Amino acid sequence: MKRILVIEDDLTLRGNTAELLELEGYEVTTATNGRTGLQRIKQNPPDLILCDLRMPEMDGFTLLGHIGQFSKLKRIPFIFFSAKSEKIDIKAGLDAGADDYLTKPFELNDLLASIEKCLHKNQPS
């Protein structure tokens, strides 16, 4: 079973996203901000990270930068999901090293497609 870490400061969105992913067969862990997320990633690296962009304590860009300092962790697929939906925002997220970028609100099918694409891309040939 693939493990996904959902990092989101909004309680409702975090809970709903985790529940939907669990119903799809994923094992889900959550974190309320980038700092807590980084601790969870170091303790038990997930197969994929789904991360909000703007959060208290540590935002998504800072978290992605910290992950990039560890060769073992930087291979984990990373998807930003954010209400920031301008092309410049999406480009900034992808340029920072994210594997994909979803805008909120998103459809479940779009989320699942992004997750599957990123997980498949990361598998050895």
Q: Using one digit for the tens of pLDDT, what is the confidence trace for 15-50?
A: 999 999 999 999 999 999 999 999 999 999 999 999
Annotation: CATH topology of 31-122: Rossmann fold (3.40.50)
pLDDT confidence bin for 123, thresholds 50/70/90: low
Q: Residue 67: which of 99, 90, 91 has the closest Cα? A: 99
pLDDT at 46: 98
Looking at the DSSP bridge assignments, the partners of residue 82 are 103
Report the C-alpha gap between 62 and 117 in whole angstroms: 24
**Which tens digits make up the pLDDT trace of 51-85?**
999 998 999 999 999 999 999 999 999 999 988 88
- Where exactly are the structural domains of the chain? 31-122
- What is the pLDDT averaged over residues 77-99? 92
Q: Is residue 125 very low, low, confident or very high in pLDDT (cuts 50, 70, 90)?
A: very low
